[in-house]
Chains A and B, each alone.
Chain A
């Protein structure tokens, strides 16, 4: 009971579990929409509700008519969106705004989006509906072709068994073909039914929850080793219940923790998914009604599978936890045990992800820890591996081994709890550690003070791992999406083609285009587009003459989509992520000395004040720059890859309407350089502020929590649409794009957020200097 209370009563541990659940839910939520923002959340909810109603309607419609119905819905949404874009056909069809509203009266939220008058808002509302409709189309196509797919499996098995490669009697290939054909034959005649699959399908495609589950299990297993870290192992073992009974209690705790982790990181995302996507649908349908289970040969319903999945998730969680517990418990040296565990997990992950399916060694890909982590794939993937010439299904293999593993590992863990002694164990790895330390000490004796600070941050505080996570997480950010409210049709094509300085060559281009248009079959459409283009050229020339810069024709949406209002939510989200990354990297830099209890001693040395602080500040700036590179250089690369035409980089930014009054005479290249430099400076300010918070914190953990709470949470809240948080968060100055864009209107008030954040950063540096370097004095 005491052990249960210690493990589950720890506010730190349980708080972390809840925090992980919130992050997991937020990450899952973010996969349900193109970008995170309040409008997108509303769009996703509306689209989910719309999809659920439509699925109800389609369920009672014959399969042949389902596709036509969905197509009609797509056209209805298209027409509505085109109407507000001013497309002639859509305008002619709907006539008035009232008719347009009436045409989508039963579609939740769309009329409200249209009433905003913002084409981007209308586009994203429609996009959420199109996504639902596309998924439905895919489901209809899949279900229509499912019987044919089963026939194809049989005919291919028949055909391949007659070829020399697969036809050898007694070979694995031959047996595999026969087994596959037999198992899929059992599915014939099994009906697949239409329903609202989106909730379950979206949840199935979210695999990050499995990793959160793994992290939670690791956390609980690590809690079993706390007495070793705190030097209490001998005391605990000397107590009456400190051996086998404690082992049995911990076995129970591991089971309970797996139940908790399953609820938080598997069930919660499912509930969220169902809530957003319009509910359960019919859970009594065959499992194969979900396209993810196309190759699954188990004959159960969706509801039965979900029950089975959660039960399996709990059991596999216990199995993985037992394995980790055994590995950590067997090795006496805790740091080496962790290193071995890390290496083992990394090796298993590499085998799981990198081994090709058809590899001779694919047994190691599927009989793998991560097969137990990603339990769902055992049902969504069909594969037989070669076991001495006999085909064995990966599901049968993995799940068949599960009870055996559970018994063996549980016995191992209990034996360790009963027999493992705290002292006097052979420490072969200790000798290895000594050799490694000797080699490392040779290098470390040559470190400069700056190198030491980097080493402390990267190695002792696991900064390398955080940095790797930052790089990995940075890959999932969305940087450029274009601006849906921009021009389209022939005008867009002309602008794309003609982009450049508006000199004589522009006139020549227009004249040539007019001539070509006259000979074209769609002359009217082309001439209308050219009229618009000429008007635009005239306007740009007049504005440039007045402003005293060179006129250029540039496709504005390239910039507005990424750096303008259309990209604002995305920019804020990326800014919030950059701030969080910086917090995680810098939080330990200042608190490490205090946590280690060496502050007084370090401050009593010649270089322990100014010299050390300068290096710590430089490190914080460098880490912020690393985050900047991960987030913003990737954005620039992504933008450059998609949109930048080198020639337009020398065009004055004033040629973009929204930047007509930009106060500096800069080109697009200079504008972008300025934006990214400002972001770097602002992010370094975040680094200094985190360093200050860290220096004032009693330990690294408090520094992480305080940094994330003071800087990270308001930034995320702002990015998620809670506007009031922008006043207490550096996210707007860090994102910078909306401020730079705002300066284009000629208003200097957009400088204020930068100035305010600079002031805060400088104040943090001054206070940091006073606290660390300043003499305690008189």
Chain B
């Protein structure tokens, strides 16, 4: 399984959001790090075909995702950064609706909905309206819907934002478990999440891929002259060293 971006460029008017971007994803967890405006969300939107690319190709197992269309979306799980939900629905209804959109039916739909809600710790509030949920609960619900349909490619935009530490660790561990036979792209500002579970880290700046390596390798690449933020070097130092102005 291989998801490949080759020379992908995306411009919004005069602003280049993604500039000749090339990367290849194979099963594993990829942490995408970058400041606001670095192009992380544009990358997600290109992978979900929610924005038009200006140049380059994105292929899944050798075939362009645009040509694959529904076939690619059938293996895709996407959790957007914006907490958009149908506020009038209950958590269970929302998950059931999204499961329908993913092509699940009958008993399998109900089984997966139950599983996703349990996993995200929403089983107790499954019959409550989503409109009354806190930010963290909405976040978990969005993650739950992304997991429906057993997706082979998971795009998670800020999946642990707004969660308490316990929830974050739990979900982080679950994502790590999932990644054995999946491609998981994790765009986040919470560097510690990436540090603990990512196999590879992509550093993005102004639409360009600055570096790509394992967390350990990236940490090792920080110059000796760099003053650590905490007691020892971490990905935060990598972020500040390579992406900070």
In the complex, B76 has a CB within 8 A of chain A: yes
Residue of A441, A598, A776 near B84 (CB, 8 A) is: A598
Which residues on the B side are within 8 Å of A433 (C-beta)? 129
Point out the residues of chain A lying under 8 angstroms from B85, CB to CB: 596-598
Among the listed stretches B20-28, B65-73, B159-167, B190-198, which one makes contact with chain A, having 4 or more residues with CB under 8 Å of it? B65-73
A367 to B74, CA, bound (A): 61
A444 at the interface (CB under 8 A from B): yes
* B residues near A778, Cβ cutoff 8 Å: 52-55, 66
Contact B127 A608, beta carbon cutoff 8 Å: no
A777 touches B102 (CB 8 A): no
Verify B101–A605 contact, CB threshold 8 A.
yes
Instruction: Name A441's contact: one of B45, B82, B93 (CB within 8 Å).
Output: B93
Asked if A448 contacts B92 (CB within 8 A), the reply is no
Cβ contact within 8 Å between B53 and A438: no
**Is A468 part of the contact surface with B, judged by Cβ < 8 Å?**
no
B110→A445 contact, CB < 8 A = yes
Q: Which residues of B contact A (CB under 8 A)?
A: 45, 48-55, 66, 69-70, 73-74, 76, 78-80, 82-90, 92-93, 96-98, 100-103, 109-110, 113, 126-129, 142, 145, 149, 155
B129 interface neighbour in A437, A449, A603, Cβ under 8 Å: A437
Instruction: Report if A609 contacts B (CB, 8 A).
Output: yes
The verdict on A605 contacting B66 (CB below 8 Å), with A437-B129, A444-B93 known, is: no
Q: Using Cβ atoms and an 8 Å threshold, which residues of chain B touch A597?
A: 82-85
Interface string of A459-494 (1 = CB under 8 A from B): 110000000000000000000000000000000000
A612 contacts which chain B residues (CB < 8 A)?
A: 101
Give every chain A residue within 8 A of B90 (Cβ-Cβ).
Answer: 437, 440-441, 444
A437-B129, A601-B84 given; A606·B45 CB < 8 A: no
- What is the bound-complex CA distance between A456 and B127, given in angstroms? 17
Q: Is the CB–CB distance between A775 and B84 below 8 Å?
A: no
Cβ of A105 < 8 Å from any Cβ of B? no
Asked if A346 is an interface residue, CB under 8 A from chain B, the answer is no
Query: Chain A: interface secondary structure?
Result: helix
Interface CB pairs A-B, < 8 A, 17: A434-B128, A437-B129, A438-B127, A441-B96, A441-B127, A444-B93, A445-B110, A447-B100, A596-B84, A598-B85, A601-B79, A601-B84, A603-B48, A612-B101, A777-B53, A778-B54, A778-B66
**Is B73 in contact with A605, judged by CB distance below 8 angstroms?**
yes
Binding site for B on A (CB under 8 A): 335, 433-434, 437-438, 440-441, 444-445, 447-449, 452, 456, 459-460, 592, 596-612, 775-778
In addition to A445-B96, A460-B86, 6 A-B residue pairs with Cβ atoms within 8 Å of each other are A444-B92, A460-B89, A596-B87, A604-B49, A604-B73, A778-B53
Chain A residues within 8 Å of B70, by CB? 606-607, 609-610
In the complex, chain B residues whose CB is within 8 Å of the CB of A599: 50, 84
State the CA gap A438–B96 with chains docked (Å). 13
In the A-B complex, the 8 residue pairs with the smallest Cβ-Cβ separation, listed nearest first, are A597-B84, A604-B78, A604-B48, A605-B101, A437-B127, A606-B74, A776-B52, A598-B84
- Contact present for B101 and A775 (CB under 8 Å): no
Bound complex: CA of A434 vs CA of B90, how far in Å?
Answer: 10
A448 near B101 with CB under 8 A, answer: no
- Give Cα A596–Cα B129 distance, bound, in whole angstroms: 14
Contact yes or no, A604 B76, CB < 8 A: yes
Do B76 and A596 touch (CB < 8 A)?
A: no
Write the nearest CB–CB distance from B93 to chain A, whole angstroms: 5
Instruction: Contact check, B80 vs A600: say whether CB atoms are below 8 A apart.
Output: yes
| Shortest beta-carbon distance from B40 to chain A in Å | 14
Report the minimal beta-carbon distance from B112 to chain A, rounded to whole angstroms. 11
Among the listed B78, B83, B113, which residue makes an inter-chain contact with A445, where contact means beta carbons less than 8 Å apart?
B113
